[in-house]
Amino acid sequence: MRNYTQFYIDGKWVDPISPRSLEVINPATETVCATISIGSEADVDKAVAAARKAFESYGRSSVAERIELLESCVAAYEKRYNDIAAAISEEMGAPKTLAVTAQAHAGLGHLQEALKVLRTFEFEEDLGEHRVFKEPIGVCGLITPWNWPVNQIGCKVAPALAVGCTMILKPSEVAPLSGYIWSQIMDEAGVPAGVFNMINGDGPGVGTALSKHPDVDMMSFTGSTRAGSLVAQNAAPTVKRVTQELGGKSPNIILSDANLEEAVTRGVMHMYNNSGQSCNAPSRMLVPADKLEQAEEIAKAVTANVVTGDPQDENTTMGPVVSEVQFNKIQGLIEKGIAEGAKLVVGGPGRPEGLEKGYFVRPTVFSQANNEMTIAREEIFGPVLVMIPYTTEEEAIRIANDTPYGLAGYVQSENIEHAREVASRIRAGNIHINGAKGGYDVPFGGFKQSGNGREWGHHGFNDFLEIKAVEGYGL
């Protein structure tokens, strides 16, 4: 069992000021796999002071120095790659293959992409006799979630380091193990004291203290829309910048000219990826009404091939959801879908057959739903797909946009021009045509209540920068 009870502050591993421990549960076994400490406002004050002091020098470091540092971070991460993957599988139940090929890779990918962008990024621009500078915003509070833990750590820490910011990271207390190893990697890479700090804790304690702290210049948050709203409210009195990547209820429009077999198969499998615990999951599948019955049969057949079970088994394609709280929430929403009259195509309440321990959810497909049902409005954050029929393309687009969210959208068509036209009408930050996936250089973020700001690639640098115009610079 892991004992991760220290915090990383000012280049040292230190004990919390007021010790309070929390047990971390392995969701596949429901057993304790680690113990961490829960931080307090006093720990935040200590970390912010270290970051503020470090910014005096790191904020004025050269691009060459930061390139060298990121190279060191990449090398240190590569050495601990398998440790990161194992921790992710243990803390949040990702199947081993997913943890190795996608989850752990995301942390490395964001470091490598930030390094690539930094080599050519323009921090200065001349406008006639004037010069515009892009300068690091300062001390950043970074709050990350449990569902793609190092992906979200990487896409915040890497650009912050690249542009010259200092930071305090609060990983999710539900899945904190990979964040702890990330902090060890930062130490091994030689990140200067105070530039990167890490405190474990919960939202009401550490998260609130970070958000309201007068010496924190920016908050970058990924999580639920409810929690993101609280971060913004706590940050408002000090008028700090707040960027947020929040919830989603993303539409997947299967147009009448799509290859139905391919489109439905792709959509169902994407929905089950990471046990449905992705904010951009295509959770609402919009299907032509005259093809709905055929789509149901395809979805049922695809689901039959999903192997739910032990994350360490190479044959497993879907592990558990992250916690008992999450399991109970999903079960309640499945029951709600049945009660509100949606057709249960496959799956349903309870654990999959043969799994009596662990927070395993039956991969579930509802059909004949409408967009007013709870399962079509609320983010379930589990392996539950909702099929909604439509009669006209205009109706499909209206249903797609009839949501408070706007993180992602999906369009399936055999005609690329047709797909592009429909994609242009969806109000969301990331649109995927025929299953296309973005790289680490493609901006990620949402419209409406899915957040503000953009992460990933050179677009991800901008939120960590302030703009300074020096007029008459060239006179």
What are 372-412's pLDDT values in tens digits? 999 999 999 999 999 999 999 999 999 999 999 999 999 99
**Residue 102 sits in the same domain as residue 46:** yes
User: Residue 108 domain-assigned?
Assistant: yes
What is the pLDDT confidence band of residue 475, given thresholds at 50, 70 and 90?
A: confident
Question: Distance of CA 367 to CAs 203, 291, 304, 370, Å?
Answer: 36, 12, 17, 9
Question: What tokens does 213 get?
Answer: 């702290």
Strand, coil or helix: 415? coil
User: Residue 352 domain-assigned?
Assistant: yes
**Residue 55 sits in the same domain as residue 89:** yes
Q: Region 426-434: what's the mean pLDDT?
A: 98
Q: Are strands 241-245 and 451-452 parallel, antiparallel or unpaired?
A: antiparallel
Cα distance between residue 369 and residue 389, in whole Å: 7
CA proximity to 151, closest of 307, 14, 280, 313:
280
Residue 158 has pLDDT above 90, yes or no: yes
State phi, psi for 242 to the nearest 5 degrees: -130, 120
**Residue 26 sits in the same domain as residue 135:** yes
Residue 340 has pLDDT above 80, yes or no: yes
Per-residue model confidence (pLDDT) at position 14: 98
Q: Region 92-113: what's the mean pLDDT?
A: 98
Q: In what side-by-side order are the strands of the sheet with 2-4?
A: 2-4, 31-37, 21-26
Question: What tokens does 366 get?
Answer: 């509802």
**Residue 101 sits in the same domain as residue 201:** yes
Quote the percentage of the chain above a pLDDT of 70.
100
Tell me the torsion sign for CA atoms 337, 340, 345, 351: positive
User: Residue 90 domain-assigned?
Assistant: yes
User: Residue 226 domain-assigned?
Assistant: yes
State phi, psi for 127 to the nearest 5 degrees: -120, 85
Q: Given the residues 113, 245, 296, 455, select the one marked as catalytic.
A: 245
**Residue 264 sits in the same domain as residue 232:** no
**Residue 240 sits in the same domain as residue 289:** no
Taking CA 447 as the corner, what is the angle to CA 444 and CA 448, rounded to the nearest 5 degrees?
145
> How would you classify residue 368: left for phi > 0, otherwise alpha for psi between -120 and 50, otherwise beta?
left
**Tens-place pLDDT, residues 176-186:** 999 999 999 99
User: Residue 445 domain-assigned?
Assistant: no
**Residue 241 sits in the same domain as residue 258:** no
Residue 111 has pLDDT above 90, yes or no: yes
**Residue 223 sits in the same domain as residue 274:** no
Tell me the torsion sign for CA atoms 153, 158, 159, 164: positive
User: Residue 444 domain-assigned?
Assistant: no
User: Residue 475 domain-assigned?
Assistant: no
CA proximity to 39, closest of 11, 14, 65, 70:
14
**Residue 391 sits in the same domain as residue 370:** yes
Per-residue model confidence (pLDDT) at position 251: 98
Q: Given the residues 279, 296, 379, 455, select the one marked as catalytic.
A: 279
Number of domains in the chain: 2
Q: Model pTM?
A: 0.97
**Tens-place pLDDT, residues 5-26:** 999 999 999 999 999 999 999 9
**The domain that contains 355 carries what CATH number?**
3.40.309.10
**The domain that contains 39 carries what CATH number?**
3.40.605.10
**Residue 357 sits in the same domain as residue 227:** no
Quote the percentage of the chain above a pLDDT of 90.
99
Q: Region 34-45: what's the mean pLDDT?
A: 98
Task: List the domain range (segments joined by +) for residue 415.
Answer: 251-439
| Active site (annotated) includes residue 471 | no
Residue 438 has pLDDT above 80, yes or no: yes
**Residue 263 sits in the same domain as residue 132:** no
Per-residue model confidence (pLDDT) at position 474: 87
**Residue 73 sits in the same domain as residue 196:** yes
| Active site (annotated) includes residue 68 | no
CA proximity to 66, closest of 9, 125, 133, 111:
111
Per-residue model confidence (pLDDT) at position 153: 98
**Tens-place pLDDT, residues 259-298:** 999 999 999 999 999 999 999 999 999 999 999 999 999 9
Question: Distance of CA 389 to CAs 255, 393, 440, Å?
Answer: 11, 11, 34
User: Residue 336 domain-assigned?
Assistant: yes
Cα distance between residue 90 and residue 101, in whole Å: 15
